[in-house]
Chain A
């Protein structure tokens, strides 16, 4: 069977492209090397929808960031994922740096970012009392927002699947051959003939691109470490707090997450190993020390987890989006920050391009909306009561920290592009994301996964083959 399009990568960009392309009468197959959507860069980032003042005017980063940011709120309603417009502040710590703040404001204006203003130190502290006394001024961008990166990616993937896109997991692409007017994409499990290929392979987008194109690209994995803090300190700040790059380096951000935690990060260190997602003592110490410049008190004792992600930095410094030198082969490469913000716009653009190339028509029965898993924790008493009457599993609390019920976990497994791993359940329901970090719920979640997937509990993994939790006794 010859497909129309193979999308390589089921991160936020691949999922966005799949969702937008599923508006058209096109056969879509998404190939993902990991066991789930949102397993690479998309799962470990700041969760920020950047207003768009940071990118150099005229770059693709600027273009897609502003466009994506403008789309995000409507998309969050259409696809039911968590989004909050909380505004962004860029802190300036020295009068000498003031011109840089003005420059940033100008840049924002020329990128078309609405409402950018400069506040005095006192105005900032009035708005955010936790901000350090050393802050002399700040840029305020009211359109800055926060989003659940998992929720966004999963929502788009689910919606794509409902509209006919096929997702194939655990299939790393091993080769691509241009074949007449199409391509043959091979994985370790099979070969996929298609008319067009879209490369959304994150930190591996260079390898995928270079399989086909003579003009090579090169991506460096840039590690960013983060610390996540307990919800009880989630209200430390309400806006996303950036630091104006200064003598001390690029700075780190302090932000509430859309679920009410506090997040600090990221660091930036280049690494040769594109799977090197470990945290380091130096990294964690540095990031907390750097964040300490922004706020009066870092709540060190309330940290609940730390993690690291890898950004795909292309040598040219900008996104690579569009048709490559090979007809029918499209890139969404070098998608580092503000990639999450840009993803909806990149998806829309590339889907349009590819549909045009294929001469595809729009579907008459495209389902543009998607309803997420019921959220018992956030539901009102009446809604909870109704949910429980409808399905008693919504009363069985599995994750006590985040109040996630068995009903939600079963939903997460049974949905299109459903969860098959513990991490998959966690990203879809928040089970295990609270302060006990899955100590209490993981035995129960494993049991539910095994039951719903009709497999043995020893086969259930954290994030795919090789990450099994349990085994039978080996004997003495």
Chain B
């Protein structure tokens, strides 16, 4: 089978990309989704807080997903459900060969002129943390627990300790509490939380759940089921401080220790990945190192709001359509690199072709630490173009700057764009 644009993943990124590509004039779009329904992880995110930016109202995850699913349905965009993509490769003569499998079609190939990578991310498991102790039942990543509670209606445990204060962990602290569990503590390795402020307020503070910063799990006890975990304070190098151990009896340990973009397929295709984000290195059009291959959403870099995922995916879908329609603006001049200055962990995009910009370049980035009263500075070459004061910048909240196309075009050859955090 042939298609103009294949979209890998039917979660929020894939849905928005499909709609946008369609609206930009490419009607031949296909979404490949491994689950039996669209919406991805939003289906289990039944809490509210989605859509404030996109729809100016506060929706739950499934409601938010439904808005986009409706748009996909209205446009009759083809969706192959229960279909897993097992390989992506560059086709001879251009485009990408998507190899997929499903019960209905067996093994099959799709020749696509362009591909949008929208596979999302996964949770960092206990093994990757190398937490010592036993390996009993009762240790779940927060998202897995969320699925048990919110889809299947089963309790993963009753006396709970949560390691990591990522948003899913915070959301699950409240969720488990409302389902009758006793959440005893949320431990966070860093001296600050990686979660959104409002989640700390509404998920922990509202229920008197203690957030223990600079704290980690140093032992897990219980041979069959978790019986207790040992929490220890950590020093500035994140090493446990002997003598600070506190054993907390519990039957459940939830882990909310970060999300990792799921780029196995991108790697198979040979897409250049950033070691910092684990996602593709992309240009201003969200195009990866392989032409015609675009990336958006959590497979590109982990977002904290689905609204931003939809926004990014809308861009990716539009650019994929332009690519297919041969409308990609020239911009074949040398790409300008974006560099991370003080305090900035990464930027998306990694490079920009000014000729391809409409009016502005939007740069999304994350900082590596908590900064109070910082200035976000944008340098073009040596010249400081922008200096924006903020009350706070934190790793948990994505930042964004906009740079005028004309300013970038005025840069001297060889100069780079640098985003930095400056404090007094």
On A, residues with C-beta under 8 Å from B are: 227-228, 275, 277-281, 283-284, 303-307, 381, 384-385, 388-389, 392-393, 395-397, 400, 403, 435-440, 442-443, 447, 457-458, 461-476
Contacts and interface: CB of A to CB of B under 8 A. Distances in A.
A43 to B, nearest CB: 11
B122 interface: yes
Given A400-B84, A473-B155, A475-B180, A439 B144 contact: yes
A457 B123 contact: no
Interface string B155-172: 111100000000000000
B162 to A, nearest CB: 15
B228 interface: no
B209 interface: no
A462 B137 contact: yes
A468 B123 CA distance: 22
Nearest to A458: B154
A307 B135 contact: yes
B148 A470 contact: yes
Interface stretch (B53-61, B101-109, B389-397): B101-109
Contacts of B179: 473
Contacts of A278: 132-134, 219-221
A469 B149 CA distance: 12
Contacts of B130: 227, 284, 303, 306
Contact of B127 (A303, A389, A472): A303
Interface of B: 34, 82, 84, 86, 99, 101-104, 106-107, 122-123, 125-128, 130, 132-138, 140-141, 143-144, 147-148, 151-158, 179-181, 218-221, 223-225, 240
A462 B128 contact: no
B154 A471 contact: yes
Contacts of B220: 278
A474 B141 CA distance: 21
Contacts of B82: 395-396
Contacts of B102: 395
B103 A439 contact: no
Given A403-B86, A471-B154, A442 B132 contact: no
Contacts of A458: 154
Contacts of A471: 154-155, 157-158
A305 B135 CA distance: 10
A439 B123 contact: yes
A385 B106 contact: yes
A436 B224 contact: no
Given A395-B84, A463-B224, A473-B179, 17 more contacts: A278-B221, A281-B218, A303-B127, A304-B125, A385-B106, A388-B106, A389-B106, A436-B122, A436-B123, A439-B143, A439-B144, A443-B152, A447-B152, A458-B154, A462-B137, A471-B154, A476-B180
A396 to B, nearest CB: 6
A425 to B, nearest CB: 14
A279 to B, nearest CB: 5
A381 B108 CA distance: 9
A436 B128 CA distance: 9
Q: Max chain B CB contacts within 10 Å: which of A438, A458, A465?
A: A438
A16 B158 CA distance: 42
Contacts of B225: 466-468
Nearest to B143: A439
Given A470-B148, A471-B154, A473-B180, A275 B106 contact: no
B106 A472 contact: no
B101 A395 contact: yes
A385 B132 contact: no
B132 A439 contact: no
A470 B132 CA distance: 23
A474 B84 contact: no
A78 to B, nearest CB: 30
A305 B158 contact: no
A442 B154 CA distance: 14
A403 B153 CA distance: 27
A157 B103 CA distance: 32
Nearest to B220: A278
Contact of A284 (B106, B123, B126, B132): B132
A304 B107 CA distance: 30
B103 A393 contact: yes
Contact of A470 (B106, B151, B155): B155
Contact of A467 (B153, B154, B224): B224
15 contacts: A278-B220, A283-B132, A304-B125, A306-B130, A385-B107, A437-B125, A438-B125, A439-B122, A439-B144, A440-B122, A443-B148, A467-B224, A467-B225, A469-B156, A471-B157
Given A384-B107, A385-B106, A437-B126, A469 B137 contact: yes
B11 to A, nearest CB: 14
A306 B148 contact: no
B224 A466 contact: yes
A471 B153 CA distance: 9
Nearest to B232: A281
A437 B255 CA distance: 12
Contacts of B101: 384, 388, 395, 397
A397 B180 contact: no
B155 A472 contact: yes
A20 B118 CA distance: 52
Contacts of B141: 439
Contact of B34 (A227, A400, A464, A474): A400
Nearest to A301: B128
A462 B136 contact: yes
A465 B136 CA distance: 12
Contacts of A468: 137, 225
B107 A388 contact: yes
The 7 closest A-B pairs by CB, nearest first: A305-B127, A392-B103, A466-B224, A437-B125, A462-B137, A470-B154, A467-B224
Contact of B154 (A284, A389, A461, A472): A472
Contact of B103 (A305, A388, A476): A388
A385 B108 CA distance: 9
A277 B125 contact: no
A443 B84 contact: no
B40 to A, nearest CB: 12
A307 B126 CA distance: 12
B132 A306 contact: yes
